[in-house]
Amino acid sequence: MAHLNVGAPRRVHLPVDLKVELTEDEGRLCNLLDECTQYLKAEKDVSTSCRIAGGWVRDKLLGSQSNDIDIALVGMMGYPFAEHLAAFAKSCGIETGSISKIAQNPDQSKHLETATLKILGLELDLVNLRSEEYTTTSRIPTGMTFGTPLQDALRRDITINALFYNVHSRSVEDFTERGLDDIRQGTIRTPLPPQQTFLDDPLRALRCIRFASRFGFETVPEVGECLKKTEIHNALVSKVSRERVGEEVSKMMKGHSPLHAMQLINEFDLYDSIFSAIPLEIKNTFSRTPEKVMLSLQCTAVLQALIDHSMSSPLLPLHQALLAVVNNDATCKSRLYLACAIAPYIGITYEDKKKKTYPAAFSVIRDSLKLGTQNHYSDGVPALFAASDLLKSPSLDDERFKTKPERVAIGMLLRQKSIHNPSTGSHWSSSILFSLVRELGPLYDASSDMISEEADKIIRVYNEFAARIEELDLLGVADARTILNGRDVGEILEAKPGPWMGQVLTQVMEWQLEHPERTKEDCATWLKHAHSMGLLQTDFSEEPIRKKARTA
């Protein structure tokens, strides 16, 4: 047994001084906002003031750059101010993008109408400072009135996101009196009591986890205790759209430490509220019960130990061929982490109303997370699951590599669509990597951070397989084209294209894998001979018959 060394993530580096340093365009924007409010007061008798709110302020204080800027307005809605700002900018010779309005949706905890506008290369979201009113039995607002900066700050998710930057005074404002200190101390805290904050918008439970994992911050005890409450878990399912949940999960998977996010999700028993909000009619057709949710944490920890080069891992280093894509493709990395997150659903299928079978992972991504094909989540993750079945324990002594010449057997395996398919983001190297993670996951004990010595034996098998792929010059085989295309084959065999063509092209690929030094002419000679000897799997009579059947 050995320690995997996957503790809490390193805390984000803090600048010596917490201060906001504006870029040239940000300075111009602040000047424009200030001048616009002065103009509105003098010429139209409209009083308002502007503050940059939330994440931009936090990131600036941490020394990071953000082009997404939220403008909070005093006593004015975002859309009319956006119209005034666009007109004022035009009078100053500054071009702006079009104005869009995003309506509020209280039923899904989207309480504010927002206007969006691009100006000076910066994306602006404009909203009013708000003060919300509630009934005694619900945290869904019954009304929204214009509020003060303090009231608005108290209604935000966490204190480090409740800071304002006053564009008129060019100063940071901390109305909760906790935000700046919480940045310095690395703390995740809600401005109001956690239960009130989370029931106002249950998505804030996930945002606490995301920011804790992003910055390596710790949740204060009262936040952690509240995150464990069933009432919060149920509210996350019933009050928040699955699209918003999926967006938070995607940001976690792309973030600084997906592992820390999964550790917190497991610690606070939030897994089912996030990943298992699947329609009952689908759940009822599952081929079996999902594995324990701990498997998600085990696989995520193993993946991080294998690919995070900043960690001190006891595991054998991976062959570089297995890391070629994941090291250079952020979408691949986030897809692998999501696959680990929903690992309890590996091997499970469900039936739709037409009795067609699908992988349960597809429903998790489509229904519980609403992520679709962005980052190749809904098509790429099920492919990783299917590929791991084909790639399990790829020992070179395995019978599957003995039935045909080794180069043919390995090459054709890597060309399987579930293993390598650019249209789903699948690459053979990441498919092999996930297969390895799937095998190693159950060997890891998250409670003790210990992994079995058996892990190195398994890694050695995968490394030897990757080394053999390289030795056989098969690193690019999955994208290789057949030496003869369909037209060539049709002309050589004097036959019309048909269903038989795919089978013959497969045999052509097998031939060229077995004879890598041979030419196109050599392949044509072999093809003619194989056809004359009846060695090709063809039935030239199929296509004309099928055409007649379709036109009858």
> Do both 323 and 454 map to the same domain?
yes
CA distance 489 to 496: 9
Q: pLDDT tens, 403-425?
A: 899 999 999 999 999 999 999 99
Q: Are 13 and 29 in contact (CB under 8 A)?
A: no
pLDDT of residue 104: 63
Residue ranges for the chain with pLDDT beneath 50: 108-110, 134-139, 543-552
| H helix or E strand, kind and range, residue 40 | helix 24-44
The DSSP secondary-structure symbol of 191 reads S
* Number of alpha carbons in the 13 Å side-chain half-sphere of residue 219: 28
Q: What is the CATH number of the domain that holds 264?
A: 1.10.3090.10
The DSSP secondary-structure symbol of 187 reads E
Task: Give, rounded to a whole angstrom, the gap between the first and last alpha carbons of the chain.
Answer: 69
> Do both 175 and 196 map to the same domain?
no
Q: Give the residue among 292, 184, 206, 289 at the shortest CA–CA distance from 255.
A: 206
The pair phi, psi for residue 531, each rounded to 5°, is -65, -45
> Do both 259 and 281 map to the same domain?
no
The CA–CA distances, whole Å, from 274 to 21, 62, 244, 247 equal: 37, 29, 11, 11
> Do both 288 and 326 map to the same domain?
yes
The CA–CA distances, whole Å, from 22 to 57, 95, 273, 404 equal: 11, 21, 40, 65
> Do both 317 and 215 map to the same domain?
no
Q: Are 209 and 255 in contact (CB under 8 A)?
A: no
> Do both 293 and 246 map to the same domain?
no
> Do both 23 and 168 map to the same domain?
yes
pTM reported for the whole predicted model: 0.90
The string of DSSP codes covering 208-235 is HHHHHHHHT-EE-HHHHHHHT-HHHHHH
Q: Are 187 and 211 in contact (CB under 8 A)?
A: no
Q: Give the residue among 155, 139, 229 at the shortest CA–CA distance from 192.
A: 155
Domain final residue pick, 156, 185, 214: 185
- The domain containing residue 285 runs over which residues? 276-480
pLDDT of residue 265: 98
* Number of alpha carbons in the 13 Å side-chain half-sphere of residue 339: 35
> How many angstroms from the chain centroid is the CA of residue 59?
21
> Do both 371 and 399 map to the same domain?
yes
> Do both 374 and 419 map to the same domain?
yes
pLDDT of residue 494: 86
> Do both 130 and 192 map to the same domain?
no
Which of helix, strand or coil describes residue 70? Answer: strand
- Burial string for 180-201 (b: 16+ CB within 10 Å, else e) reads bebbeeebbbbbeebbebbbbb
Q: How many distinct structural domains can be found in the chain? A: 4
The pair phi, psi for residue 269, each rounded to 5°, is 55, 40
Rounded to 5 degrees, what angle do the CA atoms 419, 425, 429 make? 45
CA distance 349 to 289: 10
> Do both 519 and 529 map to the same domain?
yes
Domain final residue pick, 250, 273, 296: 273
* Dihedral sign computed on CA atoms, order 221, 226, 229, 233: negative
pLDDT of residue 41: 95
> Do both 224 and 248 map to the same domain?
yes
pLDDT of residue 545: 38
At a CB cut-off of 8 Å and minimum separation 6, what does 50 contact? 33, 34, 37, 71, 72, 73, 74, 167, 168
Strands 187-188 and 218-219: parallel
Largest alpha-carbon pair distance within the chain? 94
Domain final residue pick, 273, 296, 327: 273
How many other CB atoms sit within 10 Å of the CB of residue 99?
Answer: 17
Q: What is the CATH number of the domain that holds 63?
A: 3.30.460.10
Which of helix, strand or coil describes residue 490? Answer: helix
